[in-house]
Amino acid sequence: MKLIRKEVSLEELKEIAKDTFGDLVKAVVDVEKEIMVIGGELHSDEEELLLKNGSRQENLWGINLYPDLEPAEWIEFDSVINLRPSIGNLTRGVDNPQIREKIRRIVNKLVQR
């Protein structure tokens, strides 16, 4: 797992994908600190690393990145850690469009395409 505070290259994401799931990289994004963890086997492992680094759970969202897809299609909002009935997120996705857009902006800032 790797904590991304600055940029990571698309090529590095492709290597991580190849070494893990083949075509995807799991990631957890902290929408407050604008950082993310990539390369874990489970989103919960990445979430734990962020929590140990001072992140707050309510700011963490799990996604999957498909580095071989076009920028408009490469982020998948799907993770068990996103199930949060207490704040109205009733799916594995990210139901709030503003949070989805913030995640897109953060990921596109952190990944050098």
The pLDDT assigned to 31 comes to: 98
Which stretches of the chain score pLDDT less than 70? none
* The predicted structure's pLDDT at residue 45: 97
Q: What is the DSSP track for 26-43? A: EEEEETTTTEEEE--SSH
d(CA 59, CA 44): 14
Tokens of 108: 């596109």
What string of DSSP letters covers 87-99?
GTB-SSS---HHH
Q: What is the reported pTM?
A: 0.96
Q: For 23-49, write each residue's pLDDT tens digit.
A: 999 999 999 999 999 999 999 999 999
Which residue, 35, 70, 71, is CA-closest to 50? 35
